[in-house]
């Protein structure tokens, strides 16, 4: 910066003003400084400016993992929203050791980010409070916590709608394949199961749910089990597309026609759902990320309240993996 000042023949203060776009600089001088900066291809160090302003120009994004397709979409949305506000995006993967190191890892954020966005972290109340200690605004995605900025979908209603779709087609023997890890039953897994159960209860039917590992294999195994039941289901709703894909695989291998003998439905609208012609509940991770990013920006700007809740829409995507059960003549009503 000193070099630029010298090159333009002005003081440090003036260069700083120009580069910050602050007022109080003659247009002519402003231009000259701008040119000098460009010529020396100079950019301000966020480090130094952050030191004095207290703002870092960075937003931390915390996710349990980055591998699944879902997170790429969210990150893309976040990146676009934050980039538009000239904020940089710091990405942290806290991994499965969250219970032990989770809050420790949160600390490095302390004065190194202006805001924190969590992605599908499924934080407990206590963890939320611990993050509050970091002292920066926080936006949660994938979960809804009262009093805190959240961007989420209505998992409960999504699963209920999916179930109603199957019910309306005339199915009565409907099974649900859910997931949980040995130590973790995620909030969205809980909500989807609850939504399914509520819809079943609404139709006066007994729920029939299996819980397996949250991956394709879980779906494969669960479907195998369902196929060997005394009276197999005529429709299956999976907690998410990955499970549905596993189930689909078992069905294909067993020669069970979909939707001929069994209707299959997923949740999330995974990239590959269209390949399998899988009926599913669509949600857009990109839009979720975009909304969360914008919310973070607005909270920082003071134009949004730090307890804003944004519900993202879900929508049933009808493809060809669901149909009326054999022998039915249409809507059950």
Partner DNA sequence: CCACAGCATGAAAACGTTGCCATCAGCCCC
Partner DNA sequence: GGGGCTGATGGCAACGTTTTCATGCTGTGG
Choose among DNA, a copy of itself, none what residue 10 binds, the Cβ cut-off being 5 to 8 Å by kind.
Answer: DNA
Is-contact 329 295, C-beta < 8 A? no
- Interface size with DNA, residues (CB under 7 A): 30
Question: CB 134 → DNA: shortest distance, Å?
Answer: 14
230 φ, ψ (degrees, to nearest 5): -55, -50
- In the list 34, 40, 44, 184, the residue contacting DNA (rule: CB under 7 A) is 44
CA distance 153 to 144: 9
Number of Cβ within 10 Å of residue 12's Cβ equals: 12
- CA atoms in the 13 A half-sphere facing the CB of 221: 11
Nearer to DNA, 42 or 286 (CB): 42
Is 211 a binding residue for DNA by CB under 7 A? The answer is no
**Would you state the structure tokens that stand for residue 98, as one six-digit string?**
């969250």
Does position 43 bind a copy of itself by CB under 8 A?
A: yes
- Shortest Å, Cβ 103 to a copy of itself: 9
Of 223-282, binders to a copy of itself (CB under 8 A) are: 242, 245-246, 248-249, 270-272, 274-277
Q: What is the torsion angle, in degrees rounded to the nearest 10, for the CA atoms of residue 294, residue 141, residue 120 and residue 117?
A: 50
From DNA, a copy of itself, none, interface partner of 267 (C-beta below 5 to 8 A by class): none
- Dihedral of alpha carbons 161, 280, 278, 245, sign: negative
* By the rule CB under 8 A, 120 interacts with a copy of itself: no
Binding partner selected for residue 299 from DNA, a copy of itself, none, CB under the kind-specific 5 to 8 Å limit: none
User: Which residues, numbered 104-133, are part of the site for DNA (CB under 7 A)?
Assistant: 111
Applying CB under 8 A, does 318 fall inside the site for a copy of itself? no
- Quote the CA–CA distance of 63 and 323 in Å, as a whole number: 37
Q: How far apart are CA 111 and CA 76, in angstroms?
A: 24
**Residues pairing with 140 in the sheet:** 118, 150
Residue 153: asked if its preceding bond is cis (omega within 30°), the reply is no
- Which of DNA, a copy of itself, none interacts with 80 (beta carbon under 5 to 8 A by kind)? a copy of itself
Closer to DNA by Cβ: residue 109 or 281? 109
Distance (Å, whole) CA 330 – CA 333: 9
Sign of torsion over alpha carbons 163, 167, 168, 170 = positive
Q: What residues line the site for a copy of itself (CB under 8 A)? A: 41-43, 45-48, 50-51, 56, 58, 65-69, 71-73, 75-76, 79-80, 83, 88-93, 107-108, 110-112, 133, 216, 242, 245-246, 248-249, 270-272, 274-277, 286
Q: What residues line the site for DNA (CB under 7 A)? A: 1-2, 9-14, 16-17, 19-20, 22-26, 28-30, 42, 44-45, 47-49, 51-53, 111
């Amino acid at each position: 910066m000193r070099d630029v000042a010298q090159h333009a023949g002005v003081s440090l203060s003036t260069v700083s003003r120009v580069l910050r776009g602050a007022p109080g600089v003659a247009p002519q001088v402003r231009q000259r400084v701008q040119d000098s900066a460009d010529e020396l291809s100079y950019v301000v160090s966020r480090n130094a400016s952050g030191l004095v302003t207290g703002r870092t120009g960075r937003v931390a994004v915390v996710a349990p993992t980055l591998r699944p397709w879902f997170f790429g979409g969210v990150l893309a949305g976040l990146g676009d929203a934050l980039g538009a506000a000239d904020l940089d995006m710091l990405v942290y993967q806290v991994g499965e050791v969250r219970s032990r190191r989770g809050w420790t890892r949160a600390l490095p954020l302390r004065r190194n980010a202006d805001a924190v966005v969590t992605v599908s972290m499924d934080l407990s109340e206590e963890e939320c409070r611990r993050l509050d200690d970091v002292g920066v605004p926080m936006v949660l995605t994938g979960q809804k916590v009262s009093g805190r900025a959240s961007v989420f979908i209505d998992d409960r209603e999504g699963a209920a709608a999916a179930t109603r779709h199957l019910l309306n087609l005339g199915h009565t023997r409907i099974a649900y394949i859910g997931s949980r890890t040995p130590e973790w039953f995620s909030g969205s897994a809980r909500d989807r199961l609850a939504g399914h159960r509520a819809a079943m209860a609404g139709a006066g039917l007994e729920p029939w749910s299996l819980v397996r590992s949250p991956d394709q294999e879980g779906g494969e195994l669960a479907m195998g089990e369902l196929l060997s039941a005394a009276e197999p289901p005529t429709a299956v709703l999976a907690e998410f597309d990955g499970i549905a894909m596993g189930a689909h695989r078992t069905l294909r291998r067993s020669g069970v026609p979909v939707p001929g003998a069994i209707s299959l439905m997923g949740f999330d609208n995974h990239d590959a759902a269209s390949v399998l012609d899988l009926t599913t509940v669509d949600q857009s991770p990109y839009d979720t990320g975009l909304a969360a990013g914008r919310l973070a920006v607005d909270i920082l700007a003071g134009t949004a309240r730090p307890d804003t809740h944004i519900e993202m829409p879900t929508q049933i995507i009808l493809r060809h993996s669901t149909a009326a059960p054999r022998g039915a003549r249409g809507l059950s009503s």
